[in-house]
Amino acid sequence: MDHNLLNDQQYREKVDLLLELIGNINSNLELKSVLLHIIEAAMKITDSEASSVYLLDETKNELILTVPTGPISEKIHGRRFPVTNGIAGWVARNSESQIVNDVSKDDRFYGDFEPEIFTTRNILCVPLKNQSEEVIGVLQALNKKEDAQFDESEISLFQVLAHQAAIAITNARLLEERKTLLSEIHHRVKNNMAIISGMIHIQAYNEKDEAIQNKLLNSVTRISSMATVHEQLYEAHSFSSLDFAENLEKLIANIIDTVDFHRDISTVFQCDKVMLNVNQSIPCSLIVSEIIFHLLKFGFQDTEHPEIQIRLSENADNETIILDIEDNGRQTDRYFSDVHKDGHDSGFQLIEVLCKQLEAKCDYRTKSDKNIRTLRFRRSDKAGSANKFL
């Protein structure tokens, strides 16, 4: 590596700075943050006034000025020009680094976007090449500070920076594509569930047999429970975990609307923010759905002022999630037990299966004319199907 124009101390300092800057670039996989770290690194490592990243749009054979710096950065952000034009275009086409210390004497110079505000004197420009050695863009530094000139000794360090930058950009793009794909999947799943739920809902209201109607409505609440989880994941752009406290409020509101409960019902939520992954959120939501549905259909028949209180907390010491569902209705758990013995309802059996999946304990007790069901389970980040026991 040629560093004749830098003394050993300066060179070591540049290398140390480069390693630090590369660490910053790879500290985040969000594309915008990656690009910002790259241009900051480019200016620091070259002592330049401004820098920019051009990304190659292969479909249109254009370079896009993605994240510029300097006094006109806002005005020129997103500008495009053909890859056949400019010094940056030449570097992208030829996959070769260039130093131009007097752009006014170089025929390749495309010209400044806003020359009355920012005038380019000199440029250090290197290709951004991914791990397959394909050019994905160009990294450039503009105007060496104190009217100095760029020298050949800076190219090697700048190329190392560009190589790491290209890898970081590629990884960030892959993550972005994955997020977009997963977001679309969750959105489509939610919409498909809504269509199925709506069809069953219509069938339920046209059904004359009350027992069959209840079973159909219960199916609607189960589908709605899963759809609510997918909706939250889609809206939060998180595909592994969600705020389960927020999920509970939406879930119970949906169940009350589905059952068309004709009396005012008091719902009180005392919930801490508890993040659960999708493989625990769905079975836990289904358990809540079963309990609330049967409570609304059978627990509040003779209750003048029905009340439901939901408490959610997490024991930080052992990562145990504790969910309490308290109501002032009749003891619906006896209803669950009786119909389960007679084989007329699958709700109780479903709760048993879902508790097995969560490795949870579900306890029932009464206190001061209140029914309290407590669900306890350990947080788990295991991957796998959210319905493997169904």
* Residues 204-228, mean pLDDT to the nearest whole number: 83
- The runs of H, that is alpha helices, within the chain are 8-25, 31-46, 73-76, 86-94, 153-206, 210-236, 244-259, 278-294, 332-342, 347-358
Cβ contact 145:48 at 8 Å: yes
Q: Of residues 376 and 346, which shows the higher confidence score?
A: 376
Does the domain formed by 207-378 have CATH 3.30.565.10? yes
Tokens 């400044």 correspond to 112
Domain layout of the chain by residue ranges: 8-174, 207-378
Measure CA 323 to chain center: 26
User: pLDDT tens, 138-185?
Assistant: 999 999 999 999 988 888 888 888 888 888 888 888 877 777 777 777
Q: Which two tokens stand for residue 184?
A: 């679309």
Q: Count Cβ atoms within 10 A of the Cβ of residue 364 and give its class: 0-12 exposed, 13-18 middle, 19 or more buried.
A: middle
Does the domain formed by 8-174 have CATH 3.30.450.40? yes
User: pLDDT tens, 241-264?
Assistant: 788 998 899 889 888 888 876 778
Helix axes 278-294, 347-358, angle to 10 degrees: 150
Query: Is residue 372 pLDDT above 70, yes or no?
Result: yes
Query: Is residue 339 pLDDT above 60, yes or no?
Result: no
Percentage of the chain modeled with pLDDT above 90: 23
pLDDT category at 338 given cuts 50, 70, 90 is very low
Q: Which of 27-36, 153-162, 222-231 has the highest mean pLDDT?
A: 153-162
Query: Is residue 355 pLDDT above 80, yes or no?
Result: yes
